[in-house]
Amino acid sequence: MSATRLFHSQCHRVRNLPLTTLRSATFATTAPAHGKGQAQYNPGDPLLLESLLTEEEIAIRDTAREYCQENLAPRVLEGWRTEVFNHNILPEMGELGLLGPTIHGYGCAGVSNVAYGLIAREIERVDSGYRSTASVQSSLVMHPIHEFGTDAQKEKYLPRLAKGEIVGCFGLTEPNHGSDPAGMETSAEEVDGGFVLRGSKTWITNAPVADIFVVWARCKWDGKIRGFILEKGLKGLEAPAIKNKVALRASVTGSIFMDSVKVSHDSLLPNGQGLSAPFSCLNSARYGISWGVMGALEDCVNKALAYALERKQFKRPLASFQLVQKKLVDAQTEIALGLQASLQVGRLKDGNKLAPEMVSMVKRNNCGKALQNARIVLDILGGNAASDEYHIGRHVANLQVVNTYEGTYDIHTLILGKALTGTQAFAN
């Protein structure tokens, strides 16, 4: 069954279920209370996000949630502890249409950007590393091929990427250039029959297991940055893993070394040049991240709440203490507000009304709030916070990295500061 048919089948199934069945464990239904016309407050969905989603979006969300809870959650501790990437995950996601879902055609589902955000939220509810793997495949590999590639490149790569048959990675960050990609040192030189690439990239998700590499290089003939598709096995191309990470351990991260790697002219992504091309990819990923980190924080709050209700000190449940309640309520509030913001950005993106600064705002806010509040609710566990079996500590470690990659909190602050004041605060 194709991804689109799967989603439509799920929508049909959902439409024929009772309303209460549509709601997952996280969301409870609302009902009149306290008098005519007054609704009951639902702690699981404080601002009624559910009521703002389409039936198809709810069905897609439920499909993603069921897969993530039944297939990813049972694997996450093993992946975290062993730092071994599970190669079955991307094909499983591909079978459900969760990869490159906003692309129309090429075996992709062609759903809304809001649906893409909901998928990211469910994956990161389990682990940020799993969401990173999927985000790279969808936003940083499939997106540039779809937006900047030739028809032949799209036909060659997108269907297999959508199925998870092949894995892709995105090479922009360099050892000496993270927040300053304009200083890129990786070069591309045109030669007879193609191009020669030289340079290195680092902290590249999926690189050690990648079949294709979307690499950005400065072209020697005009100084402009362009993207190239490299395939595994090329002479001079290596992608060793970065081991002993303290976060994102369920996903695989590596470096890319290009020692005079020769590729054909067909490897060039011809329809994008300059930093605006990779930045468009990053903005797609950043948008998904804004949803994903809220899923991670939701899991932290749910687990901390369950612990606080069960754990007793001074002959009372921890949940009965004012400071514990404040920690939980503060986090719940940021989740509700963050999800509403991401939903609005998604609707604007679907309506072609999105400005890049909007993505910077929700990426900055949601990542910062997720990290801050995950750290706070971790305190509820007391000494048990040190155990990975309670999962919150793993989320905190992951969120520290997610707050950093795809544009640090400070970089997005400066982007928004420039838009607000009209004055650029970057060094150059």
pLDDT tens-place string over residues 59-87: 999 999 999 999 999 999 999 999 999 99
Q: Are 60 and 10 in contact (CB under 8 A)?
A: yes
Regarding whether 64 and 128 lie in a shared domain, the answer is: yes
**Contact yes or no for 29/40 (Cβ under 8 A):** no
Band the pLDDT of 428: cuts 50, 70, 90: low
Residue 183: inside a domain, yes or no? yes
Question: Could you confirm whether 55 is annotated as catalytic?
Answer: no
In CATH, what number is assigned to the domain containing residue 230? 2.40.110.10
Task: Give 35's pLDDT tier (boundaries 50, 70, 90).
Answer: low
| Contact present, 3 and 108 (Cβ < 8 Å) | yes
Looking up tokens 């007793």, which residue turns up? 312
Q: Rounded to an integer, what distance in angstroms lies between the CA atom of residue 41 and that of residue 31?
A: 9
Which domain-ending residue is among 107, 130, 163?
163
Confidence of residue 1 (pLDDT cuts 50, 70, 90): very low
Boundary-marking domain end, from 273, 300, 315: 273
Residue 44 has pLDDT above 80, yes or no: yes
Q: Is residue 247 included in any domain, yes or no?
A: yes
Query: Cα separation of 305 and 351, whole Å?
Result: 37
User: 234 falls in which pLDDT band (50, 70, 90)?
Assistant: very high
Based on C-alpha coordinates, what's the Rg of the chain? 22
pLDDT at position 34, please? Answer: 55
pLDDT at residue 13 is higher than 80: no
Number of other residues whose CB lies within 10 A of the CB of residue 147: 17
Which one from 83, 122, 334, 406 is the annotated catalytic residue? 406
Task: Decide which of 223, 257, 273 is a domain's last residue.
Answer: 273
Whole-number pLDDT of residue 37 = 73
**pLDDT at position 392:** 98
Examine the domain organization and report whether 200 and 227 are in the same domain.
yes
Angle separating helix axes 128-135 and 113-126, nearest 10 degrees: 140
| pLDDT on residue 17 | 37
Domain of residue 135, CATH code: 1.10.540.10
Q: Which amino acid type is present at position 318?
A: L
Residue 35 domain flag: no
pLDDT at 426: 77
Whole-prediction pTM:
0.90
In a domain, 110, yes or no: yes
Asked whether residue 230 falls in the same domain as residue 113, the answer is no
Specify the pLDDT at position 36.
67
Q: Output the CA torsion sign for 68, 360, 378, 242.
A: positive
Q: Could you list the residue range(s) of the whole structural domain that residue 302 is in? A: 276-421
55 shares its domain with 173: no
pLDDT of residue 175: 94
What CA–CA distances, in Å, run from 229 to 139, 168, 217, 285, 427? 15, 10, 11, 19, 32
Per-residue pLDDT reduced to its tens digit, 372-393: 999 999 999 999 999 999 999 9
Whether 31 has a pLDDT exceeding 50, the answer reads no
How many folded domains does the chain comprise?
Answer: 3
